[in-house]
Amino acid sequence: MSDVWDGREDRDDDGEEESYSTSAFVNGATVELTSGASFKDTVKSLATNARFGKFRVFLNGSEVTPSNAPANINEGDRLEVHPYDVAGKAV
């Protein structure tokens, strides 16, 4: 099975892309983030608060792994944190 990518684009009514502040989308909620904060610490905190055991992280639409994560969150970054389901196992 291949990786799942989030290729959705959020658009307003006139078809233009919306601008976003520095934020994260987790469990259907948007959380404002602080630019310059530690990326890994922020992601771990978001996942812990959402009660995710394993999870996947997307930064500005592209998946980020722990080994290629940036050091800090930059102004305008959009993060998404999704639970990672392992087939046949509970998460």
- Identify whether 43 is part of a domain: yes
SS (H, E, C) the chain: CCCCCCCCCCECCCCCECCCCCEEEECCEEEECCCCCEHHHHHHHHHHHCCCCCEEEEECCEEECHHHCCCECCCCCEEEEEECCCCCCCC
The total number of structural domains that make up the chain: 1
Would you say residue 11 lies in a domain?
Answer: no
- Contact in structure between 21 and 32 (CB atoms under 8 Å): yes
Residue 18 counted as domain residue: no
pLDDT above 90 (res 69): yes
- Give the confidence band of 21 by pLDDT, cuts at 50, 70, 90: confident
pLDDT of 64 over the 90 cut: yes
- CATH number of the domain enclosing 78: 3.10.20.30
The answer to the question of residue 34 being in a domain is yes
Whether 91 is in a domain gets the answer no
pLDDT band at 88 (very low <50, low <70, confident <90, very high): low
Domain region containing 38 = 23-83
Taking the whole predicted model, whether its pTM rises above 0.85 is answered as no
Question: Which pair of tokens denotes residue 70?
Answer: 């940036």
pLDDT above 90: percentage of residues in the chain: 66
